[in-house]
Structure 1
Amino acid sequence: MYDERASRLDGAFVWTRTVPAGGGAVPYPVLPDGCMDLLWIGDTLLVAGPDTRAYAPQGIGGQYCAGVRFAPGTAPALLGVPAHELRDRRVELADLWSPAEVRRLTARLVSATDPAEALEAVALRRAATSGPPDPLLRAVVDGLNAGRTVAATADAVGLGARQLHRRSLDAFGYGPKTLARVLRLQRALALVRAGKPYAEAALAAGCADQAHLARETRDLAGLTLGAYAALADAYAALANRDTSTPSGSRTTA
């Protein structure tokens, strides 16, 4: 069972997932979305870096999982590490922060009646001391997500191509062209889940045609369009039974 809610931290979401013991759940890959997550899994604090390919969670049967999913570009300042250093990685928080601090936080979450709320509190306290994210990067995300070209987005925020690329690596984990692809794929697959025909979803999201969307889905999600739609339908069926369905939880082994 999966559930999520908007966080008190601007642009973030708090999510929880309980994975049945012994398997039986439909495997649901975590697709690239430009986000990073702070995770609580198996009494361990972890960080999920930005993905450039689908990630298949494993080894979490019977566990309660919680996470804070940060908006693209906002996590590096909070975590104190450039996003590109965590690209396609899941690492323990103790590798990034003081082990003594992480032990204190772990003890707090172990004893919490609501670990997800306690995890959100960790993020809020950290954000209060790290300062707000760069508003320019929010404008970059908004521009690319609106379908603007990288060049037009760079012009709009007043950065040269090299500056934008360098700042994107630190903020998003990859360059603006990859971020644009990731955001476009997310827009397209949201339309597919809503029942739009593939060709219509492709054009509405900014792909050249259905074949373009099919290639992007294989490259970034590791699935054919048909396989993705079937998987989404399977989770929709579970949603009817369990009242909620995962949209982006970044559970990990």
Structure 2
Amino acid sequence: MYEEAAPPRRLAGVARCVWRSASAGPKRIVPDGCLDLVVGDGGVFVAGPDTASWSSVTRPGAVLRGVRFKPGHAPAVLGVAADELRDRRVSLGELWGRSGEELAERLLAGEVSPAGAVESRLAAVEVESEDWAVAELIEKLDAGAARVADAAACLARGDAGPAQTGAQSRAATRLEEPSAVSERRLRRRFVQAVGYGPATYLRVARFQRAVALAPRLSGLAALAAAAGYSDQAHLSRDCRALTGLTPRHYFRPSSTVDPTRRDRLRSA
């Protein structure tokens, strides 16, 4: 069982969703470019951005609840760079010391919800304004930019290309200012905000597009083309790297992955 809902209004700027999950057996978690605050089964931890799949194993009857941050937004709330959490599960106590341990106790006791904990954190810390250059690069990669180098270079030049969105146009205007970010600096800030470089994020975002499209398409060749892969072999390589399974095993309903799109997302 997996349930997902929109975050409370106060968290809409930093969170993608809130979720609840109960699994009768091991659950394959695949990369999605996000960090999660996870509560349940006797623990409270932050799941960092993944570069490969991992297996979530809980006790029978255990229910996990969590908040999934939007890519690039968790560090400002958590107070730690995302790349320091890459492929890690870090307890709240390790992250915030005694205050984290006390909050974890309250979360496990049900005195506060995961969303409430994030809301309290937002009220207690000074969250920096959104890094617009990183946000625009994430937007371009989510939209299916073919090459990371081209996307980053366009932003560094202030050129979002012929199909500019409103946000990309604003970015282009800002990049004409004297404080415009260099391509090298943008990549460094991207790693700190997201947890890994633009090339890895593009790989993850493209695979998540395939996950979203899979229920509506028949055949791996069609899926690869629709998701933006160069060919079916390209999809196969990324699927093996990110899930540990071939596409035929990963996308079939009888696999260890739940058949719905939301259950394939990293819900822990």
Q: TM-score, normalised by structure 2?
A: 0.80
Matches of 1:130 and 1:200, distance apart in 2: 46
Matches of 2:254 and 2:126, distance apart in 1: 37
Matches of 1:47 and 1:141, distance apart in 2: 21
**Structure 1's 177 and 18: CA in aligned 2 closer, same or farther, altered over 3 A?**
same
The Cα of 1:235 is off from its aligned counterpart by 2.9
Matches within 5 A, 1:23-42: 25=25, 27-42=26-41
Q: Of 193, 197, 201, which residue of structure 2 is paired with 1:179? A: 201
**RMSD of aligned alpha carbons:** 2.2
**Structure 1's 91 and 207: CA in aligned 2 closer, same or farther, altered over 3 A?**
same
The Cα of 1:186 is off from its aligned counterpart by 0.7
Q: Of 14, 17, 32, which residue of structure 1 is paired with 2:18? A: 14
Matches within 5 A, 1:205-244: 205-231=227-253, 235-236=258-259
The Cα of 1:55 is off from its aligned counterpart by 1.1
Higher RCO, 1 vs 2 (CA within 8 Å, ≥6 residues apart): 1
The alignment partner of 1:34 has SS state of coil
The alignment partner of 1:63 has SS state of coil
- Report Cα offsets for 1:147-204 as digits up to 9, x if no partner: 2222232234334332222112201111111111110111012212333421122112
Matches within 5 A, 1:63-142: 63-99=62-98, 101-112=99-110, 118-128=113-123, 129-131=125-127, 132-142=129-139
CA contact (8 A) 2:3 2:21 kept: yes
Matches of 1:213 and 1:5, distance apart in 2: 29
The Cα of 1:92 is off from its aligned counterpart by 0.5
Matches of 1:214 and 1:245, distance apart in 2: 21
| Partner residue, 2:265 | 248
Matches of 2:122 and 2:134, distance apart in 1: 16
Matches within 5 A, 1:50-69: 50-69=49-68
| Partner residue, 2:153 | 155
Q: How many residues align?
A: 236
Farther off after superposition, 51-60 or 218-227: 51-60
Matches of 1:130 and 1:224, distance apart in 2: 44
CA contact (8 A) 1:15 1:249 kept: no
The alignment partner of 2:121 has SS state of helix
Q: TM-score, normalised by structure 1?
A: 0.84
| Partner residue, 1:146 | 143
The alignment partner of 1:52 has SS state of coil
CA contact (8 A) 2:43 2:108 kept: no
Residue 189 in structure 1 maps to residue 218 in structure 2: no
The Cα of 1:32 is off from its aligned counterpart by 0.8
The alignment partner of 2:55 has SS state of coil
**Structure 1's 179 and 232: CA in aligned 2 closer, same or farther, altered over 3 A?**
farther
Which letter does structure 2 place at the counterpart of 1:213? L
The Cα of 1:245 is off from its aligned counterpart by 6.0
